[in-house]
Amino acid sequence: MHPTIGLDNQQPDPSRLLGWISYCGIESFGSVMVSLFWSFANSNISLETAKASYGVMVASAQVGSIIGPTIVNQFASKIGVAKVYLVGALCMLLLQCTMYNYIMKYGAGVQSAVPEATGKKKEKPGILEGLHLFAKYNYVKGIFAISCLFMVEVTIVDFTMKVLARDFFADKYPCEIGMSCYSTNGEHGMSESATQKLTEFMGFFGQATNTLSFLFSLFGTSAIIRYLGLRLTLLLFPTMCLGVIIFVRLYPSLNVVFGAMMMLKASSYALNNPTKEILYQPTSTAVKYKAKSWIDIFGARGSKALGSLVTNAFSDSAEHLVSNGSLVGMCVASFLIWNATFMGRKFDDYTESGFVVGEDTEVQTHEALEEQNIQMATIQNEDKDTSCAMNSDDEEEGDDDDEDEVEEEEGEENKK
């Protein structure tokens, strides 16, 4: 609401720090809070329960995602954008009260009694442990690709839609002489009417997208996973992404890009998010929390940054952005299709064998234990080693003793 650093100042300026703080604060909240919630859920929910309930959980989250854009769409032009923003800030305070009441009722979690029983102090994990797990296991790398790389495509298409929408409303409600948005150097800002209409448009986009996500999540996610199985469901989202981007490249209009973003956002919430969370089931607690934190926070933001590099490189015109950005999106989608095939196969192998990615023990199944014992016995035979760890002289004497025992046994057999 400040007249200079706030929204009342309609002159565009990259040094408007309040805008940077707002964007970074909201993006950080989405990275940290959502990541921690799913880490908690994955550690306390079985695989079968996850397949049945993750769709409903995502659908419940969409209720708030529908209410927020509805408020924006209905009240932005009536009370102003700044006051609508204040409503969102108050919702964050309401969230803190909800979390506090939850902890007071259910507790903050039961701490392990193992350190007290053994008398050993629990070693604190290093800050890079999650990154080490990511580098060590290809399965974790695959989860990273499914979780984050699609954001490169979404960032490109989303920025394309906003550029087209800005140009549309700026032309429909132009900045004229005498308005505060008018500048003598020719770099005019958006008029107040154009800003309000663009805000209402984005509110309507949020309504439509999250309503579609709600319906997909409530009625489609669990049913699709049960009917197609996780392997085919993993392939469904990147295949849809590829088709949507090709369609945008062929028909680059605001309505087409609007529909494309609806499909990408809705399917990412309803299909990609639940399935990639299910992929954490055959992983250790360290992977669920430490590696997942690196993936969701740094990986997701890094993917958005990569997509922004593409949009920044081709943002001189909407046509240039669509033609070049779509090529990058198609390449990413093609890679994600290959990665989904790999991850679906690995998930089935690990769940069937009981293998847990990231466990400290190297042998996790009975078959693997038998194989290890056979390999150890083979090595010992080749090295002529025994469990008594005799030296070479002892081994020679032991060999002579063995020959004498064989001769005695043969003599007894002859007597018999």
Confidence of residue 214 (pLDDT cuts 50, 70, 90): confident
- CB-based contact 189:168 (threshold 8 Å): no
Contacts of residues 311-316 at CB distance under 8 Å and 24 or more positions apart, as own/partner, are: 311/155, 311/156, 311/159, 311/160, 315/159, 315/163
Amino acid at 35: S
Q: Residues 217-242: what's their mean pLDDT?
A: 83
CB-based contacts of 407, cutoff 8 Å, min separation 6:
none
Least confident of 134-138, 206-210, 219-223, 288-292: 219-223
Kindly tell me if the per-residue pLDDT of 215 is higher than 50.
yes
Angle at 313 between CA 5 and CA 238, to 5 degrees: 105
Dihedral class, residue 174 (left if φ above 0, else alpha if ψ from -120 to 50, else beta): beta
Sign of CA dihedral 155, 156, 157, 160: positive
Angle between helices 300-313 and 150-172 (to 10 degrees): 50
Is 331 a residue whose pLDDT tops 90?
yes
What was the pLDDT predicted at 410?
53
**Bridge partners of residue 292, in order along the sequence:** none
pTM of the model: 0.65
Q: What is the mean pLDDT of residues 268-294?
A: 84
pLDDT of residue 380: 55
Q: What is the pLDDT of residue 330?
A: 92
- Residue 304 in tokens: 């958005």
Residue 159 in contact with residue 321, Cβ under 8 Å? Answer: yes
Q: For the purposes of burial, counting CB atoms within 10 Å of the CB of 414, is it exposed (0-12), middle (13-18) or buried (19 or more)?
A: exposed
Give the model's pLDDT for residue 239: 92
Structural element, H or E, at residue 169: helix 150-172
Identify which of 115, 329, 73, 304 has the alpha carbon closest to the alpha carbon of residue 202. 73
Q: Dihedrals φ, ψ of 114, to 5°?
A: -65, -45
Q: What is the mean pLDDT of residues 59-80?
A: 83
Asked if 6 and 18 count as a contact pair (C-beta separation under 8 A), the reply is: yes
Q: Could you tell me the two tokens for 318?
A: 């909407």
Q: Where are the beta strands (DSSP E) in 126-284?
A: none
Res. 338: pLDDT tops 90:
yes
> Which run of H or of E encompasses 408?
helix 392-415
Which has more pLDDT, 52 or 155? 155
pLDDT at 100: 85
The CA angle 333-237-287, to the nearest 5 degrees, is 90
Q: Which residues contact 175 (CB under 8 A, 6 or more apart)?
A: 181, 182, 188, 189, 190, 191, 194
> Shortest CA distance to 248 belongs to which of 175, 160, 151, 128?
160
Band (pLDDT 50/70/90 cuts) for residue 333 is: very high
Compute how many other C-beta atoms are within 10 angstroms of the C-beta atom of residue 133: 21
Could you read off the pLDDT of 360-414 as tens digits, one per residue? 544 444 444 454 455 555 555 555 544 444 444 444 444 555 555 545 555 555 5
Q: Once rounded to an integer, what is the mean pLDDT over residues 258-269?
A: 86
Q: What is the pLDDT of residue 125?
A: 55
Residue 342 confidence (pLDDT): 92
pLDDT for the residue numbered 365: 44
User: What local confidence, expressed as pLDDT, does residue 7 receive?
Assistant: 82
Q: Which of 229, 233, 234 is nearest to 336 (CA)?
A: 234
Q: What is the DSSP string of 246-292?
A: HHHHHS--HHHHHHHHHHHHHHIIIIIHHHHHHTTTTB-HHIIIIIH
Cβ pair 50, 42 in contact under 8 A: yes
Give dist(CA 310, CA 324) in Å, integer: 8
pLDDT tens digit sequence for 142-163: 999 998 898 898 888 888 898 8
Q: What is the mean pLDDT of the chain?
A: 78
329, 153 contact by CB (below 8 A): yes
User: DSSP label at 357?
Assistant: B
Q: How far apart are CA 169 and CA 192, in angstroms?
A: 11
pLDDT (0 to 100) of residue 74:
85
Q: Which amino acid is at 309?
A: L
Owner of token pair 């309401």: 94
Share of the chain above pLDDT 90, in %: 7
